[in-house]
Amino acid sequence: MPSLFTSTTLDAGSCLALGVYSKCNWLHQKQAEGEKAPTVSLVRSNMAFAGDFTPVLAKHSKSFNLIDTLAVGVDRIQRNFEPMQPQVEQWRNSQISDERAKLILYEAFVDGDLEAPRSLLPEVHRLSFEPEYPEFSPRTMWSLSNAFTSAFKKLDPIPQFKATAKLGEFLNQLTA
């Protein structure tokens, strides 16, 4: 579960969400022995990740400054956000057939190519073929990505984070 989470709209089609995670309750303790530094991750508005991204690494530092560290992390995220925009546009413009969408779901859950619980297959299928939002009605890689990430919201926070992080890798290898 995020120790800190915030989001902001960058432009009409993009949202930056920032989550700070810690392997121990570091933000809730006062520099306890064995502390771990937070991980700062970029999350798209539909909870999709481009992959694992950890711009901040610092452990066991007596002079650790969270504000300075977050500023550096956000700066690194912003520099990596712009290169992600073409990928998002490619997915939005990448039409796929119903058969291809079903095959992707099969590869993800039945073949086990995506590290996500198989129990989500019916929900991802439903959201793929009966989207909740009109903007995801066109059959594209973007709408399929949204179906996955919407279904992932049923998971507990840590499994959701992990599955969503692996989704970007999985979908990228399909479009490569």
- Residues 5-48 have pLDDT tens digits of 455 555 555 555 655 555 544 444 434 444 444 444 444 444 44
Tell whether 112 and 151 lie within a shared domain.
yes
- Average confidence (pLDDT) over 166-174: 86
Q: Where are the beta strands (DSSP E) in the chain?
A: 4-11, 14-21, 39-43
Tell whether 77 and 98 lie within a shared domain.
no
Identify which of 65, 97, 71 has the alpha carbon closest to the alpha carbon of residue 18. Answer: 71
Residue 137 has pLDDT above 60, yes or no: yes
- The total number of structural domains in the chain stands at 2
Tell whether 45 and 61 lie within a shared domain.
yes
By residue range, what is the domain housing residue 121? 92-175
Residue 134 has phi, psi (to 5 degrees) of: -60, -30
Tell whether 154 and 115 lie within a shared domain.
yes
Tell whether 97 and 73 lie within a shared domain.
no
